[in-house]
C-alpha cells in the first residue's frame, strides 16, 4: 500500500479527541503485523483509547523512531465544503480532517513500514502512535511508563507534526491553570457592599497582563519564534447569573507558553504571589494547575541535527505550537520535529488539506532516513 491509500483509510476514522481511536489502532496493528513488525498496544487508563509501539529489524540499540498522534480536532462549528472524514483529492490537494495534523505523516510512516519489510535493516525502525495529543499531549504522558521499557535507545526520533518539511529544533512548553474567584452574592443596587467575583477576576487578569507586558519588553527572547518571548494568555472567563445580582463566583482559565530560556519557577512564584496578596485579607482565589508539557530546545549546531536537515533537503526552524517532542526528549530520545503540511491556513481549519507534493517530499525524506547508515542503514 502507498501513502495515499493509507491516508484514505486513516481519514475515514473519526478520531476526534472526544471519541475512541480503537478502530484506527486495530487497522494499524493489522497492517504492521502483516508486514513483519513486532507490535504492542498501549491502552489508555479509561480503556476507550490506545497508543501503539511497533518495531522492525534487529533488537539492538539505535535506529529510527517515528512518532505521530492519531487524534484530530473537532469539526463542530466549522463550515466544510467537503466531507471531513472522507479523503477528497482536488487540484493537487488532499482534503479531510487530519490530513495535515497529522495523519499525512502517519500515512507516510506506515507506507515506509510496508516497504521496510523487504529491506535488510542494520538498526531498528520503530513507530509510536499516541492519542489525545490535541488536548495537551495527554495520551503520550499516560502511556509513557509502559512505552519506556519498549524503546531500544533509538538514535533519533522524528515527530511528524506539520513543518512544511523543515526540521524544527524547538517549541515552547505549556502550562494550563484555572483560577476560581469567590465573592459575595447580593442585589446590584447595593453592589458596593459586596465582593464582586468578576471584579476580583479583572484585578487578577490585570496583574497577569502586567507580567506579560514585562516579558514582552524585557524578555528573555528567542528570535527564532514569531512571538519571541514567553506568553501569558487568558482564554476563558465566566461568572455571574443575572445583571442585577453581584456575582459570587467566577472562573478563569489561562496558560503560559514558555521559552526554554525562561525560568518557569520564577513565573510560578509570581503567580502564586499575586494569589497570596489578593488572599491576604480573606481567601478569595483558589488556583489549580492543570495539564503541562515540556518544550523542546535542541542545539542546531550538533552534527546529527545537520545530518537530518541535509536528508530533509530543507532548512531549520522552530514552531509556535506544542508537540510530543519535549516528552520524548525527557525520556532520553534525541528528537526533532519534521512533517508535511502547514498549521497556518491548513491544520485545524475547515476544509483542512495537505498538498500532494508535501506528502511526496515526506515519503522521499523517510526513504533517505531509513537508508542512511547513521540511522537504519537499510540495504536491498
Residue 345 above 90 pLDDT?
no
pLDDT single digits (tens) 15-67: 999 999 999 999 999 999 999 999 999 999 999 999 999 999 999 999 999 99
Residue environment code for 342-367, b if the CB has 16+ CB neighbours within 10 A, otherwise e:
bbeebbbbebbbbbbebbebbbebbb
pLDDT single digits (tens) 249-282: 999 999 999 999 999 999 999 999 999 999 997 8
Residue 324 above 90 pLDDT?
yes
Position 281 scores a pLDDT of: 79
Average pLDDT, the chain: 96
Distance separating alpha carbons of residues 167 and 379, to the nearest angstrom = 25
Nearest-CA neighbor of 147 among 55, 60, 71? 55
Percentage of the chain beyond pLDDT 90 is: 98
Q: Which residues are catalytic?
A: 71, 133
DSSP result, 304-355: HHHHHHHHHTS-EE--SS--SHHHHHHTT--EEE--SS-TTTTTTSTT-EEE
C-alpha of 210 from chain center: 28
**Model confidence at 75, in pLDDT bands (50, 70, 90)?**
very high
Position 282 scores a pLDDT of: 86
Ordered alpha helix ranges (H), the chain: 3-12, 22-34, 104-116, 138-147, 197-218, 264-278, 303-312, 325-330, 356-371
Cβ-in-10-Å burial (0-12, 13-18, 19+) of 30 comes to: exposed
Position 92 scores a pLDDT of: 96
pLDDT single digits (tens) 133-156: 999 999 999 999 999 999 999 999
Q: What are phi and psi of 364, to 5 degrees?
A: -65, -40
Amino acid at each position: 500500500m502507498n501513502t495515499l491509500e493509507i491516508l484514505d483509510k486513516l481519514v475515514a476514522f473519526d478520531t476526534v479527541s472526544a471519541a475512541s481511536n480503537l478502530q484506527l489502532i486495530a487497522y494499524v496493528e493489522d497492517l504492521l503485523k502483516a508486514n513483519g513488525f513486532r507490535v504492542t498496544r498501549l491502552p489508555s487508563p479509561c480503556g476507550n483509547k490506545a497508543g501503539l509501539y511497533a518495531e522492525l529489524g534487529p533488537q539492538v540499540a539505535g535506529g529510527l523512531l517515528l512518532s505521530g498522534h492519531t487524534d484530530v480536532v473537532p469539526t463542530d462549528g466549522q463550515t466544510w465544503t467537503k466531507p471531513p472524514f472522507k479523503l477528497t483529492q482536488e487540484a493537487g490537494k488532499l482534503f479531510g480532517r487530519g490530513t495535515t495534523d497529522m495523519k499525512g505523516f502517519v500515512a507516510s510512516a506506515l507506507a515506509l513500514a510496508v516497504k521496510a519489510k523487504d529491506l535488510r535493516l542494520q538498526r531498528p525502525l520503530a513507530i509510536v502512535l499516541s492519542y489525545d495529543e490535541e488536548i495537551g499531549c495527554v495520551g503520550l504522558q499516560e502511556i509513557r511508563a509502559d512505552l519506556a521499557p519498549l524503546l531500544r535507545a533509538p538514535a533519533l526520533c522524528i515527530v511528524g507534526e506539520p513543518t512544511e518539511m523543515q526540521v524544527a529544533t524547538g517549541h515552547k512548553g505549556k502550562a494550563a491553570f484555572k483560577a476560581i474567584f469567590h465573592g459575595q452574592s447580593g442585589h446590584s443596587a447595593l453592589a458596593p457592599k459586596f465582593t464582586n467575583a468578576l471584579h476580583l477576576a479583572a484585578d487578577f487578569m490585570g496583574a497577569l497582563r502586567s507580567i506579560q507586558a514585562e516579558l514582552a519588553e524585557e524578555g528573555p527572547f528567542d528570535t527564532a519564534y514569531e512571538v519571541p518571548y514567553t506568553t501569558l494568555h487568558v482564554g476563558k472567563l465566566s461568572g455571574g447569573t443575572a445583571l442585577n445580582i453581584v456575582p459570587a463566583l467566577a472562573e478563569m482559565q489561562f496558560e503560559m507558553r514558555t521559552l526554554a530560556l525562561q525560568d518557569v519557577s520564577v513565573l510560578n512564584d509570581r503567580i502564586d504571589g499575586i494569589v497570596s496578596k489578593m488572599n491576604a485579607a480573606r481567601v478569595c482565589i483558589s488556583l489549580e494547575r492543570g495539564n503541562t508539557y515540556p518544550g523542546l530546545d535542541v542545539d542546531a549546531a550538533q552534527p546529527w541535527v545537520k545530518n537530518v536537515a541535509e536528508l530533509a533537503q530543507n532548512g531549520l526552524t522552530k514552531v509556535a505550537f506544542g508537540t510530543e517532542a519535549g516528552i520524548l526528549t525527557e525520556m532520553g530520545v534525541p528528537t526533532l520535529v519534521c512533517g508535511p503540511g502547514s498549521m497556518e491556513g491548513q491544520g485545524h481549519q475547515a476544509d483542512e488539506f495537505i498538498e500532494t507534493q508535501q506528502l511526496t517530499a515526506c515519503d522521499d525524506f523517510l526513504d533517505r532516513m531509513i537508508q542512511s547508515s547513521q540511522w537504519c542503514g537499510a540495504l536491498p
